[in-house]
Amino acid sequence: MKKHVIIFTSIFIIIISLFLIIKKIDIYHEKKYTVDIQLDTNQFDLSVVDCIPQKLIDIKDFGTVSRLTIRCKNSFDDFSKTKFSKENKDIEKYLQETEYIDFHNSVVMDLSRKLNLNELPPMDCAKTILQNINQSTHLIVYDPELALQISSGITYGYPASEVLKRSKGTCGEFANVFVALMRLNNIPCKYIQGYMITPYGQSLHAWAEFYDENIGWIPVDPQVGMFGVSQYHVKMLEGVDFSVIGADFSSLKFGNSKIINN
């Protein structure tokens, strides 16, 4: 009897030890691919900020500005272990054509045909677009003058068709083209507005999210060609296009951003 108790106790200790080791590995893994970022801003949607894989940790109001602490996840390097939102309420609106996402246009449709996108499932369609429009392809060249006009609130930028005709744009124009090509092929896609906050600096940034029924809303950065995004992408707003997400850069307040743990 005593021997059985000793064996049982030993097995129990081994199981507990394995559990603690696995838990420690999981915690290390989570820390490796996440950062907590703090920033002050006056333009955000709480339901967007606090949506997986991103998580709102804290919020404090200071008059017209709020201080947000957000945990951001690197879904680019850690895609297979990232949980994405599967919320699909009003998903049909992310298939619609808008002034800036004008996909029933010959130049957009020609590019879609050239890339054979109509034959591809959502994941492959997204990867093909990213490979063929990112900044290294020079299909779209960065336009610093337009970036200044957008950040000053003078313009919302250019529609997808105009971007392809001009071959110039900002991160928002890369996003417009990506979203247009996805929606043209009946794949729901969102326009995302937020910030890039890295150890080396901060800036406004735009990217996209598309819907895969098996995975959920997958973020991508069309400008750099990232499938998934880094832990330095901080999402603030989302919508069918830039003009309706609630951003007004002429009255934007943003600053005091810092990475709390890295």
Cβ proximity of 217 and 223 under 8 Å: no
Give the pLDDT confidence score for residue 12 in this predicted structure: 42
Give the pLDDT confidence score for residue 64 in this predicted structure: 92
Give the pLDDT confidence score for residue 246 in this predicted structure: 87
pTM, whole model, 2 decimals? 0.88
Q: Which residues of the chain have pLDDT under 50?
A: 5, 10-31
Give the pLDDT confidence score for residue 3 in this predicted structure: 55
Give the pLDDT confidence score for residue 1 in this predicted structure: 57
Name the helix (H) or strand (E) containing 187: none
User: Who contacts 241 (Cβ-Cβ below 8 Å, separation ≥6)?
Assistant: 98, 99, 100, 101, 176, 179, 191
Give the pLDDT confidence score for residue 6 in this predicted structure: 53
Cβ proximity of 69 and 34 under 8 Å: no
Residues β-bridged to residue 168: 141
Give the pLDDT confidence score for residue 29 in this predicted structure: 37
The dihedral sign for the CA sequence 46, 213, 72, 252: negative
Give the pLDDT confidence score for residue 18 in this predicted structure: 31
Side chain identity at residue 16, one-letter code: I
Give the pLDDT confidence score for residue 75 in this predicted structure: 95
